[in-house]
Amino acid sequence: MRAAALALLTHADRLTRKAGSFLGQCVVDPTPLSVAQREWLDGLLDRSGLPPLDDGDAA
């Protein structure tokens, strides 16, 4: 999950402030994502053309 968040932060063309803050949290906070957070991250990855997370990447 951390790698996916970093990839989005460094390669996404346009992120909102809210999305950037969320991704920064994903990078530094080891707490597992909630279902809603996982869905948001998956959506950001999809819109940026990056592959979805594997089930092992959830934490």
Per domain, the residue ranges of the chain are: 2-49
Q: How far apart are CA 28 and CA 5, in angstroms?
A: 10
Name the pTM for this structure: 0.84
Q: How far apart are CA 25 and CA 9, in angstroms?
A: 11
pLDDT at 58: 53
* 52 confidence band (pLDDT: 50, 70, 90): confident
